[in-house]
Amino acid sequence: MNRFRLAPMCGVTDHIYRGICVRMGCEQTYTEMISAMGYCCAPNQRATQELMIRNPLEKRLIVQLFGKDPAIVAEAARRMEDTGRYDGIDLNMGCPAHKVASSGEGAGLMLHPDIAFRMMRETVEAVSLPVTVKMRLGWDDRHLNAPEMAQMAQEAGIREIAVHGRTRAQQYAGAADWEAIREIRNRVSIPVIGNGDLFTAEDGIRKLAEGYADGIMIGRGAMGNPWIFRELQQLAAGREKTEVTLDEREDMIRTHYEAMLEAKPDFVAVREMRKHISWYIHGLRGAAQIRNRINRMTEPEEVLTAMHRYFEELRQAA
């Protein structure tokens, strides 16, 4: 059982960042969500091909598909299997974005259990890879149908369900409801992976120890914090967790930056690294000022030099 997973997050968990998290101890990763329709219509489109990259470091990579037409999703899954790159297919039934959910994709499928069921069954029949589903608790407070959806998933041959403990209507507001996740776990015999608001390794370990889920999936808690997976591994092994030093943080930013420059055009790497850097330095002294300066820089070397000076100042002040 791969207990510690990195949640799929479009715009965040590209193959570079996933590789970093795996090096830190993450046991299973997911691609950012990929449109089944987009892939079937234009399989060679650059943006899609980029989403489909597997980092050689990844131990178990699941490709996540979204769509609303069962036949197209099943066909996309079949073609994904043919690439030989993935260890499983995940169906997105949780994306709350208006454009996605209101057209019946992502969390919108929770309003149409009949279509969701066909999608799960047809995908399971189309591939020999394990098929999993990621869902929310329901559309809103009046439609909390995740337990029924989970039972349907099990019937359709789905191997595992990840549940984000919020409704679509909540988006990211309020707190994730882990009691509801546990209730779903009690309803089905397939594994249930809990997701939502895990920001410390201690909390993740506690959720597992208290039987809330069979595994945990970490999203925002891993932004700028790949070390959370090292900490989970340490705590799970009964050891103390290692504190992240300033040197380590600086090295991580540099390693991440260099890998991005190697994989993407400079201007893309510079732009995408701005948000990662802001997460890596979040909470450190003077983070807001240095972030504002870096956001105006366009040359990678300029950014890395500014970062180095910033960390030097932090080390001297420590």
Enumerate binding residues for ligand FMN (CB under 6 A): 7-12, 32-33, 64, 92, 94-95, 134, 164, 195-198, 218-221
Closest distance to ligand FMN from the beta carbon of 317 (Å): 31
What would the two tokens of residue 157 be? 């041959």
Closest distance to ligand FMN from the beta carbon of 197 (Å): 5
Closest distance to ligand FMN from the beta carbon of 188 (Å): 19
End-to-end CA distance of the chain: 41
Count how many Cα atoms sit within 13 Å of the Cα of residue 175 in the half-sphere of its side chain.
Answer: 6
Closest distance to ligand FMN from the beta carbon of 6 (Å): 9
Closest distance to ligand FMN from the beta carbon of 198 (Å): 5
* Active-site position among 10, 26, 41, 95: 95
Tell me which residue has its CB nearest to ligand FMN: 219
Cβ proximity to ligand FMN: between 116 and 314 the closer is 116
Cβ proximity to ligand FMN: between 137 and 198 the closer is 198
d(CA 304, CA 274): 11
**Amino acid at the residue 50:** E
Closest distance to ligand FMN from the beta carbon of 219 (Å): 3
Cβ proximity to ligand FMN: between 256 and 304 the closer is 256
What would the two tokens of residue 229 be? 């997976």
DSSP letter string, the chain: ---EEEPP-TTT--HHHHHHHHHTT--BEEPPPEEHHHHHH-TT-HHHHHHT---TT-SSEEEEEE-S-HHHHHHHHHHHHHHT--SEEEEEE----HHHHTTTSGGGGGG-HHHHHHHHHHHHHH-SS-EEEEEEEESSTT---HHHHHHHHHHHT--EEEEEEEETTTTT-S---HHHHHHHHHH-SS-EEEES---SHHHHHHHHHTTS-SEEEESGGGTT-THHHHHHHHHHTTPPPPPPPHHHHHHHHHHHHHHHHHHS-HHHHHHHHHHHHHHHTTTSTTHHHHHHHHTT---HHHHHHHHHHHHHHHHHH-
Active site residue 95: yes
Cβ proximity to ligand FMN: between 152 and 198 the closer is 198
Cβ proximity to ligand FMN: between 131 and 218 the closer is 218
d(CA 53, CA 15): 6
d(CA 196, CA 218): 7
Cβ proximity to ligand FMN: between 6 and 304 the closer is 6
Q: Which residue has the tokens 């709350």?
A: 96
Closest distance to ligand FMN from the beta carbon of 96 (Å): 8
Cβ proximity to ligand FMN: between 147 and 196 the closer is 196
- Give the active site residues: 95
